[in-house]
Amino acid sequence: MYTVPDNAGLGDRVRVEVFSASGELVRTIDTFEEEVRHEGVTHPVGSPLIALSWGLGLPRGSQALRQVVGVLAAGAEAADPVVYARQWADEPVRGETREVLIALTVGDTSVPIAAGAALARAAGVIDVGEDDPRYGTSVDRYLIESEVVQADIYHGSYSDPYWGPVHYDPDDLDNGINPYGEPTLADPVRAERPVGDGRHALRFLYVSPYGSHAYFLPDPGLAWDVNTFGAQQVASFLASEGAEVSDDPCLATADCPFLIPIEPMP
């Protein structure tokens, strides 16, 4: 995270004017009233209010904006994974199912984790109707109420004395080894469903207590290397042709007995 004096060059200045029902100007907002972090930049309290992202400059809720959104949505709809997720198994094309592992990283706001959860719902991996006896509610509602889908650490409910604000860990793939102080239940979600000759699955990888966009290069210095685990979990899923999703902790190492050894290069 870094700051830029007066937010210079980061976006157009914005001024918000609030009027009463009688048309009287009652408030003007032209500075940030609380610290905001966006795409790696910290905007301090009192710094000039700016547009954090580029856009078309159209007023919110206007007819012109709705027209633009409608046109863009029509163009993008065919490529939306939520649209074709049911074709993986529930409505397969040419009768051929496709087993899918949806791997998300907790706290990802770059590729929003909420979008990945929506994809899993569309594919039927996250149950939205039936209550899960482990949680007393549906898995979908559990992920929402535990703030996994929200992924907003700065307005969340969880904190650790050492790490400060942290994200919830719904899958506990490290079985509590990494010392992040993350809250989790004894019964991890690790959502799956049978499809065809294999399985659909959803996994939440806990890379950092502060959230992360994807996992990184292998790091054997970690108590439990989630980076190696994530890569090898996907590899083992593909090697089984979607028949099995392994959560074996040894995937975080090079010592799994079911992995084919790689011969050193001469």
Dmax over CA atoms of the chain, in Å, equals 82
Confidence band (pLDDT; 50, 70, 90) for 154? confident
Mean pLDDT to the nearest integer, 43-59:
86
Q: Which residues contact 37 (CB under 8 A, 6 or more apart)?
A: 1, 43, 154
Contact, 150 vs 156, CB < 8 A? yes
81 pLDDT exceeds 90? no
Confidence band (pLDDT; 50, 70, 90) for 66? confident
Provide DSSP, 45-113.
Answer: TTSBPB-SS----PPTT-HHHHHHHHHHHHHHHTT-HHHHGGGGTTS-GGG-----EEEEETT-TTTTH
At 138-147, the pLDDT tens digits run 999 999 999 9
Whether the pTM exceeds 0.85: the reply is: no
At 1 the pLDDT is 66
At 20 the pLDDT is 93
At 116 the pLDDT is 94
E strand or H helix at 194: strand 192-195
At 231 the pLDDT is 95
At 88 the pLDDT is 92
Mean pLDDT to the nearest integer, 35-46:
90
34 pLDDT exceeds 80? yes
Residues above pLDDT 70, as percent of the chain: 98
At 211 the pLDDT is 94
Radius of gyration of the chain (CA): 22
Strands 41-43 and 101-105: unpaired
